[in-house]
């Protein structure tokens, strides 16, 4: 499993580091590219240690690393696309400011109803676990929508309202870049973070990446699909361990999880 935002700080080495340097030269590495590069480096280290994946999945940005890990996207194309994704989303965030708030312990239906009746741009963006839903949109609209919703509200440290209509311009520009890239048939299936569907051919992988910037992340459906497939152990290719910790909220799903660093130790 490949995480998205909030997972920088990992080692980047070998051919991944070389690919990043080809993209940025001596400049600063964009945030999303740093996340992608450290995740892919961990995946390479796992593969070198003999740990092979039967299926892969990525949360939001992590879908690009998952597509590469599955063999559907080359390293250089992945680096270039993720760097562009960072830039386009940052530009969209400056043009249409917003934020994201995690709601913990609330009934997801109550959150959806509050969002649906709110004024302004506000949507359910990340269905992370049965008890954690992230809402995204204009900051004033977020406050109004969640005012009467029970549960703990945690503002996320992100630069914009991701997976919301405020990203439309970035999404349309990203689609044009993706059209220029040739995707390969994946060697292992990818579980779509937008639907829980298995992406087993190149066309579906490309289509999923085209749509992901505006669609909500349905991680609950990802975990359910993994359970349905008989997965018993997952490894998170990231430093933070967020996706592994989220497994605790899934009652009756007997899937154990470890961070890549723990597996490699």
Question: 62 and 26 in one domain?
Answer: yes
pLDDT at 5: 74
181 is a domain residue: yes
Q: Are strands 256-259 and 233-236 parallel, antiparallel or unpaired?
A: parallel
Model confidence, pTM: 0.96
Residue 122 and residue 135: Cα distance in Å, rounded?
A: 7
Question: 176 and 141 in one domain?
Answer: no
Residue 40 and residue 64: Cα distance in Å, rounded?
A: 10
Question: 214 and 257 in one domain?
Answer: yes
Question: 216 and 117 in one domain?
Answer: no
4 is a domain residue: no
pLDDT at 11: 84
Residue 61 and residue 55: Cα distance in Å, rounded?
A: 17
Question: 84 and 102 in one domain?
Answer: no
Question: 76 and 172 in one domain?
Answer: yes
Token duo for residue 118: 């709110």
Residue of 38, 39, 59, 60 with catalytic role? 60
8 is a domain residue: no
Sign of the CA dihedral with 190 first, then 193, 196, and 202 last: negative
| Domain region containing 22 | 14-94+164-264
Q: Other C-beta atoms within 10 Å of 24: how many?
A: 13
pLDDT at 7: 60
**CATH number for 106:** 3.30.70.250
Question: 169 and 76 in one domain?
Answer: yes
3 is a domain residue: no
163 is catalytic: yes
223 is a domain residue: yes
**CATH number for 80:** 3.40.366.10
Question: 112 and 86 in one domain?
Answer: no
Question: 232 and 118 in one domain?
Answer: no
Q: Are strands 99-104 and 152-155 parallel, antiparallel or unpaired?
A: antiparallel
Q: What are the start-end ranges of the E strands in 186-262?
A: 190-191, 198-199, 233-236, 256-259
**Domain limit, last residue, from 135, 155, 175:** 155
* H-run or E-run covering 36: helix 31-48
6 is a domain residue: no
Q: What are the start-end ranges of the E strands in 139-238?
A: 152-155, 190-191, 198-199, 233-236
Q: How many CA atoms lie within 13 A of 7 on its CB side?
A: 30
Token duo for residue 216: 């909500």
Question: 48 and 169 in one domain?
Answer: yes
Question: 140 and 76 in one domain?
Answer: no
Residue of 38, 39, 68, 163 with catalytic role? 163
Total domains in the fold of the chain: 2
Beta-carbon contacts of residue 237 (< 8 Å; ≥ 6 apart)? 1, 2, 3, 39, 40, 42, 43, 46, 65, 69, 260
Question: 172 and 129 in one domain?
Answer: no
5 is a domain residue: no
> What does pLDDT average to in each consecutive run of 10 residues of the chain (265 residues)?
77 94 93 95 97 97 98 98 97 96 94 92 97 96 93 93 97 97 97 96 96 96 97 94 95 94 94
């Amino acid at each position: 499993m490949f995480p998205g935002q909030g997972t920088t700080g990992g080692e980047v080495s070998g051919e991944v580091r070389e690919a990043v340097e080809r993209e940025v030269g001596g400049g600063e590495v964009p945030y999303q590219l740093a996340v992608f590069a450290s995740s892919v480096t961990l995946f390479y280290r796992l593969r070198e240690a003999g740990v092979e994946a039967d299926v892969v999945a990525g949360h939001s940005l992590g879908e690009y690393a998952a597509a590469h890990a599955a063999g559907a996207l080359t390293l250089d194309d992945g680096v270039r696309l993720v760097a562009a994704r960072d830039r386009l989303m940052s530009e969209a965030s400056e043009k249409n400011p917003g934020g994201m708030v995690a709601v913990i312990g609330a009934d997801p239906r109550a959150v959806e109803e509050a969002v649906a009746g709110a004024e302004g741009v506000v949507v359910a963006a990340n269905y992370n676990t049965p008890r954690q839903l992230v809402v995204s949109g204009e900051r004033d609209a977020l406050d109004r929508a969640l005012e009467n919703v029970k549960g703990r509200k945690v503002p996320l440290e992100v630069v914009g309202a991701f997976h919301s209509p405020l990203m439309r311009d970035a999404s349309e520009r990203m689609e044009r870049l993706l059209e220029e890239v040739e995707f390969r048939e994946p060697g292992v299936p990818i579980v779509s973070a937008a639907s829980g569907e298995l992406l087993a051919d190149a066309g579906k992988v490309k289509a999923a990446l085209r749509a992901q910037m505006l669609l909500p992340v349905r991680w609950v459906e990802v975990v359910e699909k993994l359970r349905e497939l008989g997965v018993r152990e997952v490894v998170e290719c990231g430093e933070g361990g967020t996706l592994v910790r989220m497994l605790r909220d899934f009652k009756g799903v007997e899937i154990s999880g470890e961070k890549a660093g723990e597996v490699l130790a």
